[in-house]
Amino acid sequence: MLKWCAHCQQFIGEMPPHADLGITHGLCRKCAGEKPDLLSGDEYAHAVALRDIFQSLFSAGRRSDFDAAGPLVDDAIAAHCRPVDILVGMIAPMLYEIGNAWEQGTLTVEGEHEFTTFAERVIDLVEARIKRAWSQPERSVGDGCYFLMNAPGNTHSVGIRILGLWLQDQGWRTRHVDDRTVLDALSEPSLAGESRTLLVSIALPEQGDAVTALVERVQALPAPHRPNIVLGGYAVKTGRVPPIPGVTLAPDISALGLD
Ligand code: B12
Ligand SMILES: [Zn+2]
């Protein structure tokens, strides 16, 4: 289930059952303190508006109707939905649904590719909106830096991209790296004294061995360069990655505990 704040329309997070993409409502931490009147007509209208936008955007994607996407994104923002929440709370779950349809044979490979292209274009659009108005001011140097990469061999690029945008929107400094550049990037002299976190995205359990090898190389770095390592992505979300020593498993973005 996808949980949205009934009052301010922020995406709160995912909750079990993860396979169910229905939208449910609750109150985010900030709004819970304000004790809003949830039975007022406004709150209800907002919740319905968001659900309708989700459905319309999904059917636009199924028709590859990109022209319809821009106005829908604008509607969501007008309904006080943060642009970044459109990515985490709408686009990501739509891609899960598409993956399920493909797995169950109700969608062709071409259909899946077309939807992914649609999703990537919507992400471009939303990225431009995010950059117009960040949710949080940029954090100061010294607050730490996030390094993001895909597990070696993982060619799914959307998850890590959304994760990077979400962190940037929260003001964090991020850098996208890969298997070849990660050790040098972590060892850069300009990072002296800063904490480093390496976020790795794994889609398939088969990519686990390559992650274990990566972790060994990263953990062999001198202590001041060594990052905290967090592993997330579809394979972690679905519980298919066994524990790896020295690595925190994060089933979704909220597990980072940063919002
Ligand atoms: C699009 C897609 C593709 C595209 C990717 C195109 C692209 N440019 O990205 C292509 C066609 C390349 C592809 C290929 C394959 N795919 Co594919 N793919 C998908 C699909 C439909 C969507 C992926 C996606 O973008 N999801 C949306 C993103 C936002 O979700 P996400 O990655 O989970 O990320 C979110 C969170 O997990 C979290 N997160 C992600 N990383 C991290 C990291 C950290 C540290 C943290 C904290 C959080 C975090 O943040 C994100 C935002 O919420 C999924 C279905 C699905 N359920 O995801 C299948 C899916 C992942 N693919 C699958 C398969 C099998 C494959 C292939 C093996 C198919 C094949 N035979 O070719 C290959 C393998 C490629 C490889 N080597 O990695 C299966 C995996 C099943 C399994 N049991 O493991 C899935 C689940 C489809 C299915 N239902 O069967 N795929
Ligand atoms: Zn709220």
DSSP for residue 243: -
Domains of the chain by residue range? 2-132, 145-256
- What is the domain class of 145-256 according to CATH? alpha beta
Ligand 1 mean position, distance from CA 202 (Å): 8
β-strand pairing of 2-5 with 11-14: antiparallel
181 close to ligand 1 (CB < 6 Angstrom): no
Per residue in 56-112, pLDDT (tens digit) is: 999 999 999 999 999 999 999 988 889 999 999 999 989 999 999 999 999 999 999
For residue 27, the SS3 value is: coil
pLDDT the model gives residue 26: 85
How far apart, in whole angstroms, are the C-alpha atoms of residue 38 and residue 96? Answer: 30
How far apart, in whole angstroms, are the C-alpha atoms of residue 201 and residue 207? Answer: 10
Topology at the third CATH level for domain 2-132: 1.10.1240
For residue 228, the SS3 value is: strand
Nearest ligand to the CA of 29 is: 2
Residue 2: phi, psi to the nearest 5?
Answer: -105, 125
Per residue in 156-194, pLDDT (tens digit) is: 999 999 999 999 999 999 999 999 999 999 999 999 999
In the sheet that holds 145-150, the strands lie side by side as: 173-176, 145-150, 196-201, 228-232, 247-250
